[in-house]
Amino acid sequence: MLNKSTVQLMALGLVGSFAATAAAQDSGALIDALVRKGVLKDQEAEQIRSQLSRDYAANTPAGKLNISSSVKELKLSGDVRLRYQYENQAAVANSAAQGVQPASGVEDHRTRYRLRLRVNADYKLADDFFAGFGLQTGQNNDSGNQTMADGTVNQNYAIYINKAFIGWSGIPGITLVGGKQVNPFYTTDLVWDADINPTGVTERIEFNKFVDLGPLELALVGGQFVATDNTESATSGKTNRDAIIYHTQLVAGLKLTDDVKLTVAPGYYTSNGASLSGDGGGEYNYTKWSSTGTEQLRGLKVYTAPGDVSFKLAGKPAKVLWDFAWNADANNRNSLYRLGTTGSVTNANAAKLTNSDRDSLAYLVGFSIGENKKKGDWSVLANYRQVGLSAIDPNINDSDWSLSYTNMAGYKVGFFYNLGDATTIGSTFYSANNLRDNLGGGLSAVGPGSGANAVQVLQVDLSVKF
């Protein structure tokens, strides 16, 4: 009979021999398997990971990096993407009279060659803390893209912080994170752009870590995110409070068979209606609340219900997905478009806008098959969506589909192929048309719902991950 110490030494030797051929960072799966088999305890596994990291750093040329003793694990990753992008927008009526864009029916074309660089560092620290940061080209929160030679052919591109967070998971099943972080919610790009890393505080409780729920995974996720930091004063009352977005979601995953899983995630998000600074980083997404031009994050009481069924089709992972959003305060938000102005320009069609049920509703249905992990892999996706004028917050939805505009309906299709394990080529096409034609006054007039009568976007990407 082998004693406990002997078993642990054998486990360390086995993992060590694996690390010698595949590098220490790749031994995590083997260690996890030993934990599941009961050979190692969690604490023992962490000690082995730490020892392997130290051995790797001391004995490998690529690993001669002096890391703080408080760091139990460091993961470095990133990607570079080259993109060709073509956009076409059909202008709305009355824009010429307002001096903003060509008259109705005239199309506005744009071709851009873009690049994106992202570098990430994620740390597992002692005492159940973790942290990380990310750097990227491009300042906008919903896009790290940098248009090539946007100025002069010799231009250098700035680097910005797109993540900086600290987290704690000292109680099994409870995770707290503060700072600019990866989106913690289960969502599609109908509501949240996948590029956005919100800034604030999030909390996650995984109930199946406390109670045996069988095949059911159940988690409650909450987030409080800062939209604008205002200067408060005793005389301003609530008008100068910080603008905050609140989002809460219950995520349930049920494994029906070995290959079939159902996920549903009902949620709710709102805001405190505070004033905003700026217009969303150059995007015309924050709309005016009154003729004085005051920008406020209000009229948002949005109920969401994303979900999917994942399964295998012809041996490949596939998914049917959906999303739904309904704004209970859409009538209030609609007045943004009736009363808004941009400088001295007033919304010429304001008097024509009356409340409609479809203004408060947004939905998406889609399908995907395949994955992109190694050379020769491929994937296809397609979805259709409708986004009512006041259904969602256009500051956080997908900036590529219809360029964030609401009051639109259309589709998205994409195909991606792995040229190598880390290199992918692919293309995505977006097309959308107005639900209400000729609403407002031009591509840069009041409100995202008044941007254009039609939008088409084509993107061709070459990406390398490291």
Shared-domain flag, residues 41 and 175: no
Question: Rounded CA gap, 115 and 79, in Å?
Answer: 11
Report the chain's mean pLDDT, rounded to a whole number: 80
pLDDT (average), residues 311-338: 87
Shared-domain flag, residues 2 and 93: no
Max mean pLDDT among 63-72, 387-396, 435-444 falls in 387-396
Shared-domain flag, residues 232 and 131: yes
Beta bridge partner(s), residue 131? 123, 166
Q: Residues 137-158: pLDDT tens digits?
A: 988 878 888 888 766 666 788 8
Shared-domain flag, residues 59 and 82: no
Exposure string over 305-317, b if 16+ CB within 10 A, otherwise e = ebbbebbeeeeee
Shared-domain flag, residues 338 and 213: yes
Q: What is the pLDDT of residue 29?
A: 72
Shared-domain flag, residues 10 and 83: no
Last residue of a domain, one of 27, 47, 66: 66
Shared-domain flag, residues 81 and 207: yes
* 223 vs 16: which has the higher pLDDT: 223
Grade residue 179 by pLDDT with cuts at 50, 70 and 90. Answer: very high
Shared-domain flag, residues 32 and 89: no
Last residue of a domain, one of 38, 66, 94: 66
Shared-domain flag, residues 62 and 159: no
Instruction: Report how many domains make up the chain.
Output: 2
Range of the domain at 3: 1-66
CA distances from 82 to 163, 427, 463 (A): 22, 12, 6
Q: What is the pLDDT of residue 293?
A: 45
Shared-domain flag, residues 352 and 205: yes
pTM given for the model: 0.79
Q: Residues 286-299: pLDDT tens digits?
A: 444 444 444 556 78
Q: What is the largest CA-CA distance in the chain?
A: 90
Shared-domain flag, residues 171 and 54: no
Shared-domain flag, residues 122 and 264: yes
